[in-house]
Structure 1
Amino acid sequence: MNTINRYICIHGHFYQPPRENPWLEEIEVEESAFPFHDWNERVTAECYAPNAASRILGSDRRIIDIVNNYSNISFNFGPTLLSWLETHNPEVYSEILRADKDSLIKFSGHGSAIAQIYNHLIMPLACSRDKRTEIIWGIKDFVYRFGRIPEGMWLSETAVDIETLEMLAEHGIRFTILAPHQAKRIRGIGQQDWTYVTKETLHIGMPYLCILPSGKKIAIFFYNAVIGAEAAFGHLLDNGETFAKRMIDSFPQNTNDPYLLSIATDGETYGHHHRFADMALAYALHDIESKKSAQITVYGEYLEKYPPIHEVAIAENTSWSCIHGVKRWEDDCGCRAMYACLISDTSVCYLLSSGSTSQHNIKPWNQKWRKPLRGAIQWLSTELARIYEHEMEGLFHEPWTIRDAYGELIINRSYDAIIAFFSNHAKRTPNPQEITRCLKLLEMQKNSLFMQTSCGWFFDDLAGIETIQILMYACRAIQISRDITGVDLEPDFLDLLSKATSNLSTLGNGKDIYEKYVQTSIFDINRVAFQFAITSLIEGIPDTTQVSMYDIYCKTFEQAETGTIKLAVGHAQFRSKSTLKESRLMFAALHMGGHNFMGGIRPFSHEKEYEEIKEDIWIFYRKSDLPGMILQIDRHFDVHSYSLWHLFRDGKRKVLYNILDDVLLDIEYEYRQLYRRYSSLVTAMKELRISSPKALDFPVEYTLNRELITCIDAEMIDISKIAQILDDMNRSNFVPERKALSVHAGSAILRTLEKIAEDPTNLLLIIGVNRLFTLLAPLSLTLDLWACQNTYHRIGENICPLMKEQMNIGDENSKRWVMEYSTLGEYLGIRCSL
């Protein structure tokens, strides 16, 4: 086969289940993701960030190039994941967007990115109006982020039916991607007779045209499932050269017809599921392009070059991850995951492989819970739709069109955007109460869609964290519905949920799980206000930390401290960003020492009442009467009285770590005094080979380690002082805390490289960081140099050509710069391009 007609397109479906607490729209700490805050953070570090700056290694195992994989592959990102990245990792987010812009140049005006339906529900199991909203929101989100109309759209789990394809075509989507077993029959365009196909007999090297009942058309690409499975579940990505060869060898021989080898897997395959697989991907693409063994392309470009000449009829209600169609998301079909992460009574995550049940004396699990869960969610969706339609018709002509348009506000929740939304769509100018009511109904519908997210059914048990998450969205939708109509859907919903049973008898049924893990996650405005009060109390000033769902305006804040007792009283205005509902609340917060906190929240009515309540509490504070303060807070805030246990998970950590910081400062002070008095004695005993007591060893060793980290963290790193501390530790046979030192040293090196990036010709900075590497080399630290390598690579691209030119004309400073810069590259594991 002529290599000019060989094309390769690798597609990555990058997605994480939405994990935000629906009442906060923030992800709370997930202990199972340790040492990261949550799984989004962890997968970003392992996959999304590495693919934005992936290493290509030379024969000497040193980095010869750093590339953005996203610009060389086809990809889609889940809109909810991109929204999280935009806020929590803007650098990776911007690299993803930049990659799409770069790919437009590389692929003849066709970008690498394609869209995805909004929140990963299973389209064949959704009603028509939900399908439409999912597509419209997905397109709106794509246009906002990538600045162009999407050519293709990824269907979650590639789950497909004719109605979904009709809607994709209706909204201008030119193609989608399916698994080969999802093709039912094919024929040449214009021909009468169909040929039935299987995944083995389907020609997957070309696009097909699907002509829909309405007359609309959409192209379909079918990926190579065999190579995709080897990449996702085998060891194909252990070596980039092997990966490239496997793809090239799969092309048919003895033909000059154009052929597209398309591979589609979860994007997390490249780094999260398989460590360093991003590098295998980068090397494979580099190898193919450098050897010209095939052309790298994306679906849009190939479709323009080689339009379909065959027509396909799809197998409806099928998907890529269930051999039974879409049963995995509605029934006990036998398809299950390799593991399930469960919420347990001890908040421990159980990792149970499909072969581990016998090892733990656990009976084989079933997924009989899926059907009643699907039934409960569908019932609730129908009830919420009825309420929404009835409540919205007074202000809008087409309530479901308004829900479609609401995707704009999910992207931009500014006050001006909300007012413009109602100005553009409402029958008349609404008052503030009507605006809040309508926004609540739209939020109810958003949660109604989110509770259908596919991940809730995908894994092995009803108590999986993904299933808990969709039940939280259901709970939030029920809460809003109850608030607006006074009708409580929860009892009937729980009756339906009770028919679903966990595989772990201790967890009970769906109702038990809902009551134990979902209802306890609810945060109303009073708990938000208490969080604000406590964090303000420990910081001594009104807390300015951003809260995703609320704008907070502190009106009054008064604090006093006596010994271990702290008291704060004040009031603040809280405005929901999603509904514009405003609440003015008074708070009192009391810290009684240690981890003992209490306080209360109540509506603020007027200044006179506020002053009276404050004075009632303050009287007992002036007398140092702690029981009296507690009684007064209980009396005035009896309905909404809280303790530390009512804070958000992250709020609890913030408060406790603040307390711990004070404790550690006291301990470090005492250790430092012992160090000053006895360090010379301990050193002398060590040199005389006389055992020193552990009671003295520990504070001396601890203080030396703290001194070392303090020096490394300093803005101006004192190399001489670091050398002296290391010498002192060596003479006393003390070992540096390698784990902590590795983290701080990596940060110090990165800070220095960022300074070099600002002033690349500053030779002293380069010499300084090289001396630091020399000092640290004997310690065998495990340094995370990923960001340092990226910065070094950028510096080299910008300044190395200039330095090389000056070096060639005999400039001595440039020669020294090149020598030191090359040495720094050796420390970083990068081959200098000079």
Structure 2
Amino acid sequence: CGWFFDDISGIETVQVLKHACRAVQIAHQLGYDLENDFLKGLSKALCNHSDYTDGKDIYIKLVKTSKVDLKRAIAHYAIVSLLPNNNTKGLPLEKHVYSYTIKEIDCERVHHKHSSLAIGQIKVTSNMTLESEEAVIASLHLGNRDFQCKIGELLSLPEYQKMKTDLMEIFDQESLTQVVRKLDFYFPGDFHSLKDLFVEERRKILAHVSGDIFSRFQDSYFTLYHDNKRLMEYHHELDVPIHREFQKAARFVLSKKLEELIIEEGYVEGEKHYSEDITEIACEAKKWQIQLDHKLSESTLNNLLNTRMDQLKEEGAKKVLLDILRLLQMAEDLGLEIAFWSLQNNYFAIRSDLRHNHQESIGLIEDLERHLNIDVSFG
């Protein structure tokens, strides 16, 4: 039974439709085709969201794409196993993929620069229903986010060995285009890709394959900034407008440096003043007429402040008070946004004990209360 308040595209209804999809899937395995009639009924439920027309559209776009069966579990494993950290020697190998157990009967993987190929025979078993399937797989990584996985029925041992040898030789000697064509020859039909992976692993793989790209972006910004900084300083001295391209690079570099310096401040204890390097970054940003990206710095600083407040609760030491005051002053000077409500709640929980047990630090305590917008005369 499923219902919704105002729109069928809500997360509750989509979740209910996923359960219905699973019921349709099980019925199909038993010889009953319920999906067509079900879709006819869903098409009568109109959607208010501009991205979808009706319940049928939502089912096709949001529900069927999340459907999991044995073949999808096989494709998931075959693609994930191409990543270097997932390669494991020694067979037979068993791995758990969520509610499935994958057993490698045979598998061989080869790598060339930014591409990889895996060919093998595996058996997948559902830990929920105990249904199982054996298949021949061939997964290919063409570089970046381009993964392809082909799944076929079991072959006789001579046929399997011939196919594996053929594909491995082509991968080693020919172009990737030839490899793809040969895969289509041995595995006719559709292929699986990143979109068929379970969500969590899909995100991990995209983060993995895009890491090098964003690292090169970062290096380019740093190079552009440092190689042209003196020239732009000359522009500044002569009151010549700063190039916007340089300003973009400067914003990225200085924002990154600020975040790193704030992290370093977390390792400094008992100091009254924060690093002069932080002040210099603020001055540089002003010189280049840019607004720094404070999002990551603010997150880092708020985490540091909450950590120090927890330490104050446990230790109540003078150096912890100095650390908190230093970080708060830095936030004020740089215009960083602080989640005061969290700090205030934590502070009120220890205020009475702190003032009573640390009279020698009452001046620092009152400074902290002023920074936290707490009336020092209260209580």
Both structures adopt the same fold (TM-score exceeding 0.5): yes
Query: 5 Å matches for 1:238-257?
Result: none
Match of 2:301 in 1: 745
The match for 1:502 among 46, 61, 79 is 46
Q: Is the 8 A contact 2:255 2:294 kept in 1?
A: no
Structure 1 residues 578 and 494: alpha-carbon distance in aligned structure 2, compared to 1, 3 A threshold: same
**Identity between Structure 1 and Structure 2 (%):** 26
Instruction: State the distance in 2 between where 1:786 and 1:529 align.
Output: 48
Deviations 1:690-747, CA, capped at 9 Å, x for gaps: 3222233322332111111223345845641333322332344332113343233323
Give the helix-richer structure, 1 or 2: 2
- 1:563 Cα offset (Å): 3.2
Match of 1:487 in 2: 32
Match of 2:70 in 1: 525
- 1:672 Cα offset (Å): 1.5
Structure 1 residues 728 and 569: alpha-carbon distance in aligned structure 2, compared to 1, 3 A threshold: farther
Match of 1:459 in 2: 6
Instruction: State the distance in 2 between where 1:771 and 1:681 align.
Output: 35
Match of 2:286 in 1: 730
Q: Is the 8 A contact 1:738 1:779 kept in 2?
A: no
Structure 1 residues 616 and 820: alpha-carbon distance in aligned structure 2, compared to 1, 3 A threshold: farther
- 1:477 Cα offset (Å): 0.8
The match for 1:476 among 19, 22, 26 is 22
Moved more, 600-609 or 467-476: 600-609
Instruction: State the distance in 2 between where 1:546 and 1:683 align.
Output: 58
Match of 2:334 in 1: 779
Is residue 2:247 matched to residue 1:697? yes
Instruction: State the distance in 1 between where 2:310 and 2:20 align.
Output: 46
Q: Is the 8 A contact 2:121 2:137 kept in 1?
A: yes
Query: 5 Å matches for 1:121-132?
Result: none
Deviations 1:572-623, CA, capped at 9 Å, x for gaps: 6655453344556654332223432212235678998776654433222222
Is residue 2:204 matched to residue 1:666? no
Deviations 1:131-170, CA, capped at 9 Å, x for gaps: xxxxxxxxxxxxxxxxxxxxxxxxxxxxxxxxxxxxxxxx
Query: 5 Å matches for 1:368-517?
Result: 452-455=1-4, 458-460=5-7, 466-483=12-29, 485-497=30-42, 500-502=44-46, 514-515=59-60, 517=62
Instruction: State the distance in 2 between where 1:517 and 1:737 align.
Output: 34
Instruction: State the distance in 2 between where 1:470 and 1:739 align.
Output: 37
Deviations 1:8-64, CA, capped at 9 Å, x for gaps: xxxxxxxxxxxxxxxxxxxxxxxxxxxxxxxxxxxxxxxxxxxxxxxxxxxxxxxxx
Instruction: State the distance in 2 between where 1:489 and 1:463 align.
Output: 22
Q: Is the 8 A contact 2:70 2:132 kept in 1?
A: no
Structure 1 residues 806 and 476: alpha-carbon distance in aligned structure 2, compared to 1, 3 A threshold: closer
Q: Is the 8 A contact 1:602 1:640 kept in 2?
A: no
Deviations 1:754-784, CA, capped at 9 Å, x for gaps: 5556x62454344233212212213333334
Is residue 2:166 matched to residue 1:620? no
Structure 1 residues 738 and 479: alpha-carbon distance in aligned structure 2, compared to 1, 3 A threshold: same
Instruction: State the distance in 1 between where 2:300 and 2:199 align.
Output: 27
Instruction: State the distance in 2 between where 1:825 and 1:556 align.
Output: 66
Is residue 2:324 matched to residue 1:769? yes
Deviations 1:171-195, CA, capped at 9 Å, x for gaps: xxxxxxxxxxxxxxxxxxxxxxxxx
Structure 1 residues 699 and 488: alpha-carbon distance in aligned structure 2, compared to 1, 3 A threshold: same
- 1:548 Cα offset (Å): 5.0
Query: 5 Å matches for 1:38-53?
Result: none
Q: Is the 8 A contact 1:542 1:554 kept in 2?
A: no
Letter of the structure 2 residue corresponding to residue 676 of structure 1: H
Instruction: State the distance in 2 between where 1:717 and 1:731 align.
Output: 29
Aligned-residue RMSD, C-alpha: 4.2
Is residue 2:116 matched to residue 1:566? yes
Instruction: State the distance in 1 between where 2:221 and 2:176 align.
Output: 33
Q: Is the 8 A contact 1:746 1:785 kept in 2?
A: no
- Counterpart of 2:192 in 1: which secondary structure? strand
Letter of the structure 2 residue corresponding to residue 658 of structure 1: H
Deviations 1:421-461, CA, capped at 9 Å, x for gaps: xxxxxxxxxxxxxxxxxxxxxxxxxxxxxxx1332xx325x
- 1:463 Cα offset (Å): 5.4
Match of 1:682 in 2: 232
Higher relative contact order (CA 8 A, sep 6+): 1
- Counterpart of 2:82 in 1: which secondary structure? helix
Instruction: State the distance in 2 between where 1:791 and 1:602 align.
Output: 59
Match of 2:315 in 1: 760
Q: Is the 8 A contact 1:494 1:511 kept in 2?
A: yes
Structure 1 residues 540 and 624: alpha-carbon distance in aligned structure 2, compared to 1, 3 A threshold: farther
Structure 1 residues 819 and 676: alpha-carbon distance in aligned structure 2, compared to 1, 3 A threshold: same
- Counterpart of 2:151 in 1: which secondary structure? strand
The match for 2:192 among 629, 639, 642 is 642
- 1:789 Cα offset (Å): 5.0
Structure 1 residues 692 and 510: alpha-carbon distance in aligned structure 2, compared to 1, 3 A threshold: closer
Instruction: State the distance in 2 between where 1:828 and 1:573 align.
Output: 61
Instruction: State the distance in 2 between where 1:726 and 1:492 align.
Output: 64
Instruction: State the distance in 1 between where 2:308 and 2:45 align.
Output: 56
Instruction: State the distance in 2 between where 1:791 and 1:607 align.
Output: 67
Q: TM-score, length-normalised on structure 2?
A: 0.75
Letter of the structure 1 residue corresponding to residue 210 of structure 2: L
- Counterpart of 2:289 in 1: which secondary structure? coil
Number of equivalent positions? 365
Letter of the structure 2 residue corresponding to residue 680 of structure 1: R
Instruction: State the distance in 2 between where 1:754 and 1:576 align.
Output: 45
Q: TM-score, length-normalised on structure 1?
A: 0.38
Instruction: State the distance in 1 between where 2:283 and 2:106 align.
Output: 54
Letter of the structure 2 residue corresponding to residue 729 of structure 1: A
Structure 1 residues 625 and 685: alpha-carbon distance in aligned structure 2, compared to 1, 3 A threshold: same
Instruction: State the distance in 1 between where 2:311 and 2:135 align.
Output: 46
Structure 1 residues 508 and 830: alpha-carbon distance in aligned structure 2, compared to 1, 3 A threshold: same
Query: 5 Å matches for 1:256-267?
Result: none
Letter of the structure 2 residue corresponding to residue 534 of structure 1: I
- Counterpart of 1:566 in 2: which secondary structure? strand
